[in-house]
Amino acid sequence: MKVVITSRENNINSIVDSRFGRAAYFAVYDTDSDQIEWLGNDVINMQHGAGTGAVNLLANLGAKKIFAVAFGAKVKPLLDELDIQMVVVKDSQTVASIIELLKK
């Protein structure tokens, strides 16, 4: 199963990005193969619809869960419709610590 974690930098010790649509990077973690793929966010500079753009990107990847610190109001109904679970995590955690918890 693919899960997505928002990230400020494209390395595993980075802190999770506090925004979802305008997160700098997305860490796509495959729980089966234990592989992480880093995705730059191309919608980050959009004036409108960064959240929905990011949802499109991640839904096409087949992500089933998204870990972020906050989700926008437009993103929530969209993710509900796409059947992707939202998980609001505590601020200032690192991507590595989230993956560590997931492996348990």
Partner 1 sequence: MVGRPQKIRKIAGAPSIEGFDPKGHRGRQCRGRRNCRRQEETILLLFEEYESIRLLDYKGLNQTESAQEMQVSRPTLTRIYQRARQKVAKAFIEGCPISFEGGKVNYKTEWYQCTDCQSIFNISDKHQKMIKEVTCPLCSGNKIIVYHEADSLMEEEEL
The binding site for partner 1 (CB under 8 A) comprises 65, 67, 71, 73-74, 76-77, 80-81, 83, 85-90, 98, 101-102, 104
Q: How far is the CB of 43 from partner 1 (least distance, A)?
A: 19
Angle separating helix axes 75-82 and 50-61, nearest 10 degrees: 20
Q: How far is the CB of 98 from partner 1 (least distance, A)?
A: 7
Q: Would you say 21 and 36 are in contact if contact means Cβ atoms under 8 Å apart?
A: no
Q: How far is the CB of 102 from partner 1 (least distance, A)?
A: 7
Q: Is 15 helix (H, G, I), strand (E, B) or coil?
A: strand
